[in-house]
Amino acid sequence: MMVIGGLTFAAPWALALLAGLPLLWRLLRVTPPRPRKVSFPALSLLLGLDTARRQAEATPFWLLALRLALAAALILAAAGPSLAPHSPIRGDGPLLLLVDDGWAAARDWDRRREHLDQVLAAAERSGRPVVTLATAPPADGGPVALGRLMPAADSRALAAGLEPRPWPTDRAGALKALDSLPFDRAGQVVWLNDGLADPADGALSRRLQGLGGGLEIVTGRSGRLLLPGTQAERLAPVIRRLPSDEAEPVDILALDAKGTVLARGEGRFEAGRATTDIPLDLPTQLRNRLTRLEIEGERSAGATLLLDEGSRRRSAGLAGGDPASAPLLDRLYYVERALAPHAELKRGEVAELAADPALDVIVLADVPLPPGPNAARLAARVEQGAVLLRFAGPLLVQSATDDPLLPVRLLSGGRTLGGVLSWTTPMRLAPFPEASPFHGLVIPDDVEIRSQVLAEPGLELSSRTWASLADGTPLVTAHRRGKGLVVLIHTSANAEWGNLALSGLFVDMLRRMTALSQRGSGATVQAGKLAPAEVLDGLGRAHPAAGINQPLDQGALAATLPQPRHPPGLYGPAEGRVAFNLGPALAPPERFVPPPGATGTRLGESRPGLDFRPPLALAALLLALIDMAATFTLRGLLWRAALVAVALGGPSETRAASFALEAGLATRLACIATKDSALDRLCLAGLRGLSARLAERSTAEMAEPMLVDPDRDPVVFFPLLYWRITPGQQPPSEQAAEKLNAYMAKGGVILFDTGDEGNAGAGPDAAELERLRRLVAGLALPPLVPMGPDHVLTRSFYLLKGVPGRWDGATLWVSQGAEAGNDGVSPVVLGGNDWMAAWAVDERGRPTHAVVPGGERQREYAYRFGINLVMYALTGNYKADQVHLPAIMDRLKR
């Protein structure tokens, strides 16, 4: 590599060939003209003989100059000249490069890495050694450490693998790491800043400026934080950014465990505002499938919000209240208001609630257990995963000895202020034990209990106690039964026996208890230490937890800052994960202010790099064409060259040959172009998803699907063509119709999809089929009949009873009778279930469209139909004999 000013040559040795241009000039100049054929003149040679000396004919000067320019262009292109995108490194000392690689840098990470490579390339051109300092703690949990002094080429290789971390930077640690610098003066200091302020910024900036050489601070767009919403009654996540005077649109995506986008919310930052909330109004069933929220277009741990069982909206049944009484005296008044923002509530009798399988939580406020089958049904609901939450009261005290649905045995009578088992003063709560789901909740000083029911002492009492009073007597006990829980709060649900129901602690306790329901979710009692299960990297991607990751204390979850030992992610056992997110743990970000004297640069403001090789190669090609045309002209052969060009064909033939070469090298599926770009992209995405499932489940490996236009492209290379019918679509031309007819006659299959769910089910004379016939009037379509239950398509790979797509309900039509010349395969398959939308996946392999009414199970059957259809197109009707399998087996028995 050689640098001349800002111009860099990748292969400077090639420039030595320029010295040979004078010799080339000499050789071209002495080249004699082309000989001409003449008849031997005999004596005529002697007539008019001229003895004067003549100058030999030479190559024209303009042609010489043209050829020398051609040679020079080729030599310069081989030398690889380029204009460096980054200014040369100042000074004559080493380069110190600081990189903020915390969560906030992830938003612009590709551009940051590109700029980093440009800076290191400039250092390499200048021959400067480099020291790199990443300011975020490393993944191994060690302190921020200074890199070694090394050549810029080695630093470029290391920087290419640098990734953002899912935790904040540690600039105080970076300042301390600078104490081990191997030099006192730097040629230049470059700081790729993430745009966020830090208390150590002032000291770090002064230290960097003290190294000399000038401090250049490069900033870009800072990451945004996705936070849980403050609206308890609905899902409304909050997005936080740095304070800005500019308005900015922002959208979020709601995804399930498979990465399917279930909802998309649109929002906007108003000028001067740092936060905005985006409500997501989803049905409870759909909301409870959510596992992840993302800021659209931003890959980072800060822009990702993981959801756990606590975010599910439960269904709770309440019994024991009296709505007709005064509100404050109703036993369920405070319970109802505490649960309303987080659960769907239903009031009823115990028998009604026990018979409702949709309830996650059943609350009984001082309600004795009903006799007979209702008690058995209630116990069965608990065994299946429901939480039975019971409150004490006078009625429960009277029937406690005969109640099997209590977590502990109770002493007869109760304990009241001034009673037989009296207190002299109301009792306060003791701190929650580590094994309790309430661990970590703050207990207000003014919460006092005046009455309680007492548990009978026993060996299991301690392990079943979640909360106690200051004297050690249980306030909340629980016991697991099957998949569910029976929980007893040993005081009243209202303010009759104490003021717990009047406090915010009461709301937090009820919310945690409702989250323990296992009905259809798998949650379990979470207490104490939560082992890491799945963690996020800096770009928001999920990975299995590594050995360095340590368990989290559930009680200290809200006060824990993400770090290498505790990265954002999901913690706890498989049956009940707890989400630990980055956003809620961080303080509102503030904008970084560059110090006086530093040079500020925005990402993308540096001059763009310019590679001169492509234009030089193009110039050489143009000069060669001009030279060829000039040579043909001088020799009188230009007309012959024109005839050769016509014989070789124009651009259309070239495109057809190129298309045929690409399509014929591998087996692939294809979409008929519809002139609707969005629909064509969806069709390709659908066939891409289907091809992936084929590769996973069979030996049929399909290459990338292609878009085919029958008017100009050959169609014979594809076993299956997907034709999405749209209103207003124009019929194919006569040439295209001939191609498609030949395609079907030689064994090809066309899937016509009207995408309208059921209009094609009215029969061959239906309006939709008539519109289809007008569209393909030039095609030789066979008579169509509804596909029977024993058709080969229902058994070519999977055994199917239906053919759903995005919709389910349209009739599938196939040709009537076997096609003798086509192995009994129907060349036409017609339906309206919009299969391509059900198959479609994005670049991450996630489905792009919801499937109704059957959800993901219906999508699975849609894939199975697609696999059957491809196998049918590839292998024909070889499984048709299975239709006669019962008769064959009957013959074998005789």
More confident residue, 591 or 259: 591
Distance CA 850, CA 14 (A): 59
Distance CA 515, CA 386 (A): 10
- pLDDT at position 406 is 92
Q: pTM to 2 decimals?
A: 0.57
Q: Is 745 helix (H, G, I), strand (E, B) or coil?
A: helix
- pLDDT at position 259 is 83
- pLDDT at position 763 is 45
Residues 200, 171 contacting (CB under 8 angstroms): yes
Query: What distance, in Å, lies between the first and last C-alpha atoms of the chain?
Result: 87
Is 70 exceeded by the pLDDT of residue 133? yes
Residues 510, 551 contacting (CB under 8 angstroms): no
Alpha helix ranges (H) inside 435-589 = 504-514
Give the length of the chain. 894
SS (HEC) of 277-289: ECCECCCHHHHCC
DSSP labels, 652-668: HHHHHHHHHHHHHTS--
Which of 134-148, 431-445, 625-639, 856-870 shows the lowest mean pLDDT across its residues? Answer: 625-639
Distance CA 318, CA 337 (A): 12
Secondary structure element (H or E) that encloses residue 484, with its range: strand 484-489
Residues 106, 223 contacting (CB under 8 angstroms): yes
Is 70 exceeded by the pLDDT of residue 605? no
Q: What is the pLDDT of residues 274-307, one digit of tens each?
A: 999 998 888 877 888 889 999 988 989 999 999 9
* Position 470 confidence tier, pLDDT thresholds 50, 70, 90: very high
pLDDT cut 70: percent of the chain above it: 82
The fold of the 227-310 domain, in CATH, is Immunoglobulin-like (2.60.40)
- For 594: left if phi > 0, alpha if psi spans -120 to 50, otherwise beta; the answer is beta
Residues 877, 792 contacting (CB under 8 angstroms): yes
Q: Is 216 helix (H, G, I), strand (E, B) or coil?
A: strand
Q: What is the pLDDT of residues 792-831, one digit of tens each?
A: 888 888 889 889 999 888 889 898 865 545 667 899 999 9
More confident residue, 810 or 609: 810
Any idea what the Cα angle at residue 105 is, between residues 103 and 109, rounded to 5°? 120
Is 90 exceeded by the pLDDT of residue 520? no
Distance CA 99, CA 88 (A): 19
Any idea what the Cα angle at residue 782 is, between residues 776 and 784, rounded to 5°? 100
Class of domain 656-883: alpha beta
Distance CA 337, CA 604 (A): 53
SS (HEC) of 369-407: CCCCHHHHHHHHHHHCCCEEEEECCHHHHHHHHHCCCCC
Distance CA 342, CA 337 (A): 10
* Position 641 confidence tier, pLDDT thresholds 50, 70, 90: low
Distance CA 295, CA 593 (A): 26
Name, in order, each residue with C-beta under 8 angstroms of 332's C-beta and a sequence gap of 6 or more.
318, 320, 321, 347, 363, 365, 493
Distance CA 507, CA 659 (A): 66
Identify the CATH assignment for 313-514 out of 3.70.10.10, 3.20.20.70, 3.40.50.880, 3.40.50.740.
3.40.50.880
Closest Cα to residue 31, out of 12, 4, 50, 57?
57
Q: Is 118 helix (H, G, I), strand (E, B) or coil?
A: helix
Distance CA 93, CA 97 (A): 13
Q: Is 315 helix (H, G, I), strand (E, B) or coil?
A: strand
* Paired tokens of 772: 């289809």
- For 472: left if phi > 0, alpha if psi spans -120 to 50, otherwise beta; the answer is left
Whole-number mean pLDDT of the chain?
83
Closest Cα to residue 498, out of 393, 601, 399, 398?
393
Q: Say whether 656-883 and 95-222+591-608 share the same fold.
A: yes
Distance CA 202, CA 221 (A): 21
Is 80 exceeded by the pLDDT of residue 483? yes
Sketch the domain layout of the chain as residue ranges: 95-222+591-608, 227-310, 313-514, 529-585, 656-883
Backbone angles phi, psi at 655, to 5 degrees: -65, -40
Closest Cα to residue 391, out of 495, 289, 473?
495
Is 50 exceeded by the pLDDT of residue 662? yes
Most confident of 160-164, 528-532, 601-605, 616-620: 160-164
Average pLDDT over residues 853-873: 91
- pLDDT at position 638 is 59
More confident residue, 782 or 761: 782
Is 80 exceeded by the pLDDT of residue 52? no
Q: What are the start-end ranges of the E strands in 500-573?
A: 529-530, 532-536, 542-544, 552-553, 569-571
Which of 19-23, 209-213, 679-683, 691-695 shows the lowest mean pLDDT across its residues? Answer: 19-23
Residue type (1 letter), 554: Q
- pLDDT at position 276 is 92
Q: What is the pLDDT of residues 736-772, one digit of tens each?
A: 999 999 999 888 999 999 887 644 444 444 556 667 7
The fold of the 95-222+591-608 domain, in CATH, is Rossmann fold (3.40.50)
Give 486's strand partners.
388, 479
Q: What are the start-end ranges of the E strands in 19-177?
A: 81-83, 95-99, 129-134, 150-151
